[in-house]
Amino acid sequence: MSEPDWYEDATIYSFDVKTFDDSDGDGWGDFQGAIDRLGYLDEFGVDAVWIRPFYPSPLRDNGYDVADYYGVDERLGTLADFREFAERAHDRGIRVLTDLVFNHTSVDHEWFRRAREDPESKYHDYYLWTSHLEDAHHRGNIFPEYEDGVWSYDEVAEKHYFHQFYSHQPDLNVANPAVREELYDVLRFWLDQGADGFRIDAAHPMLMPKGHNATTLEDTELEEPIDLFTRMREVVESEQSDAVLLAEADDEPENLDYYFGDGEAFHLQFNFVMNAHLTYAVGVRDAWPLYRAHEILPDIGGVGTWVNFLRNHDEWNLLKLPEEAFEHAREYFGDDAGDSWIFERGHRLRLADLYDGDPDRIALAHALLFSLPGSVALQSGDEIGMGADLSLPEREAVRTPMQWDDSANGGFSTADPDDCYNPVVDEGEYAYDRVNVADQRENPDSLLSRIRDLSRVRDRCPEIARGDFRIVDAEPKGVWAHRFDRDGEVLLCAHNFAAESREAVFGFDVDSDAAERVVGGGDYRVADGGVTLDLGAHEYVWLRGEKQ
């Protein structure tokens, strides 16, 4: 599968093994169940899967509290099952990206157990401690609703340890070269098991000041902090030439290009700026946030690739919006009881919840997503319009099992519902008997079919990743358009955000006889170097033609 630039326009499908498909009826999804669903992913046309943490864990934070980097949680399968999953995925041309949590471990990890028990152990310096809390570095915790700060007392060590996330997730001391070597070994191990790359969780916090003295990687033998990730790239590429690193780096816009390390660190980076603005724009039926997103994003041409997305398995983070829009989004998209707002930064709602279950707006958002330069990440269940369960704690609201059909537990598991890792959504407009794959799979007008068509069409549009992109100003402003020029061809992508029909006119310097519809509805007329579009409410169309 060697193709070094495969990631530049990939469609990546994200799922949690625990909630995707249960093959043995114990209520927990597993790798054998994921193997059984590879046909669905192949049919969807995905290039890679990103599977969320599946390692042994006490699951106080959905598996992001890792207790062993070298294993598979026995409830999800075995190492052999993972290897089989990777091999079967590769047979279908699907790459496998795993989630690696290197900023912190669980308090149950052997490293931390040995660190707290023996201050003379090498593992003690794998973490960060203080015996003088009043003199130590302090700042806000990433989960301010649940943690008072970044220090917690350990009764065994009789010291405080540093944690940017939950108190059961002590930060690793990445300034310690021995820790960094441990992380490099983990990368090598999973590549050897069949992985093709890694999402590196919390890349931004890994570079933040840590510990008593606010130590950073600038205080180490590394020439600069980004060399932590540069070395990771060297490790993975030496093992597998087309393996990739994907950054979760929710930093300020002006700092985001740093994580690419001038083309020597991360290959890919989640585009949190575009996520906040695009999802908000479709929600409020106004294109202005897209203009702003393009204005504040750094130019990353030649050094890396954005991974654009609409929703993920966390809260919808609004911090990249301007203040007025942030406050508006907090009220506009929130549930009536105010239960969706979390961490003072976002809503624990799925895409369908944000758009009132409107399949046309969900499809429009995906059409925009697939038409942007870079790669695409899809959250499992969004392609059929699954909704959140706000009765579940914190982010678990958006982590319910995949709804495959209208049988018990939505076809996810044959277990008693009480035995499932998370309950399936079984009430309301998003219940599994109303929203599921089976009902939509063969219906050409369903949300699933429309998004599947967009995924397939994108594969036939290499200009999206490799053409020259520019925004096409439009009147009325409720219509957003952009174009790509490549090898004498033009691809024009137009999207109507409005709840009413709109007529829009654009320059379109193509041969009128050769212009063709790529995907989408609406009428169009090409003449005299321009095109007139008649787009219905929340309608989109992509047109292609040879340049005159």
DSSP codes, 86-129: HHHHHHTT-EEEEEE--SB--TTSHHHHHHHH-TTSGGGGGS-E
* CA–CA distance, 512 with 192 (Å, rounded to integer): 53
pLDDT of 474: 73
Active-site annotation holds for 155: no
Residues 309 and 376 both lie in one domain: yes
Please confirm whether the linkage preceding 393 is cis (ω < 30° from 0).
no
Residues 408 and 285 both lie in one domain: yes
CATH code (residue 280): 3.20.20.80
* CA–CA distance, 25 with 21 (Å, rounded to integer): 10
Name which of 283, 297, 397, 405 is nearest 339 in CA terms.
Answer: 397
* Upper half-sphere CA count for residue 463 (Cβ side, 13 Å): 22
Please indicate whether residue 528 or residue 346 has the higher confidence score (pLDDT). 346
Residues 527 and 397 both lie in one domain: no
* CA–CA distance, 201 with 157 (Å, rounded to integer): 27
Task: Please enumerate in sequence order all residues whose Cβ is within 8 A of that of 359, keeping only pairs 6 or more positions apart, or say none.
Answer: 385, 446, 447, 450
In a domain? residue 416: yes
**Which residue, 422, 456, 490, sits at the end of a domain?**
456
Residues 425 and 474 both lie in one domain: no
Q: Residue 495's domain spans which residues?
A: 466-547
Sheet holding 129-130, edge to edge: 129-130, 159-162, 151-154
**Residue-wise pLDDT tens digits, 4-61:** 789 999 999 999 999 999 999 999 999 999 999 999 999 999 999 999 999 999 999 9
pLDDT band at residue 2 under the 50/70/90 scheme: low
Average pLDDT, the chain: 96
**Residue-wise pLDDT tens digits, 471-514:** 998 776 789 999 999 999 999 999 999 999 999 999 899 988 88
In a domain? residue 528: yes
pLDDT of 473: 82
| DSSP designation for 132 | -
Mean of pLDDT values over 210-239: 96
Say which amino acid occupies 206.
Answer: M
Residues 83 and 143 both lie in one domain: no
Residues 317 and 389 both lie in one domain: yes
Residues 348 and 442 both lie in one domain: yes
Mean of pLDDT values over 71-79: 98
* Upper half-sphere CA count for residue 132 (Cβ side, 13 Å): 4
In a domain? residue 261: no
Which of 73, 201, 314, 539 does the annotation list as catalytic? 201
Mean of pLDDT values over 176-196: 98
Report the DSSP beta bridge partners of residue 79.
none
pLDDT of 72: 98
**Residue-wise pLDDT tens digits, 516-525:** 999 999 899 9
Q: Is the pLDDT of residue 3 over 80?
A: no
**Which residue, 456, 477, 493, sits at the end of a domain?**
456
Residues 348 and 388 both lie in one domain: yes
Mean of pLDDT values over 173-177: 97
In a domain? residue 340: yes
CA distances from 151 to 115, 122, 134, 208, 494 (A): 16, 21, 11, 15, 50
Task: Please enumerate in sequence order all residues whose Cβ is within 8 A of that of 157, keeping only pairs 6 or more positions apart, or say none.
Answer: 115, 116, 117, 119, 124, 129
* CA–CA distance, 405 with 448 (Å, rounded to integer): 13
Task: Give the total number of structural domains in the chain.
Answer: 3
Which of 171, 248, 314, 383 does the annotation list as catalytic? 248
CA angle 256, 258, 261 (to 5 degrees): 135
CATH code (residue 531): 2.60.40.1180
In a domain? residue 519: yes
Residues 433 and 407 both lie in one domain: yes
Q: Is the pLDDT of residue 1 over 60?
A: no
In a domain? residue 133: yes
pTM of the model as a whole: 0.96
Share of the chain above pLDDT 90, in %: 94
In a domain? residue 209: no
**Residue-wise pLDDT tens digits, 374-417:** 999 999 999 999 999 999 999 999 999 999 999 999 999 999 99
CATH code (residue 156): 3.90.400.10
pLDDT of 476: 67
In a domain? residue 187: no
pLDDT of 454: 97
Active-site annotation holds for 248: yes
Tokens of 30: 């597993």
**Which residue, 432, 456, 480, sits at the end of a domain?**
456
Residues 64 and 87 both lie in one domain: yes
Residues 49 and 141 both lie in one domain: no
Residues 77 and 127 both lie in one domain: no
pLDDT of 394: 95
Query: Which range has the worst mean pLDDT, 180-189, 214-223, 347-356?
Result: 214-223
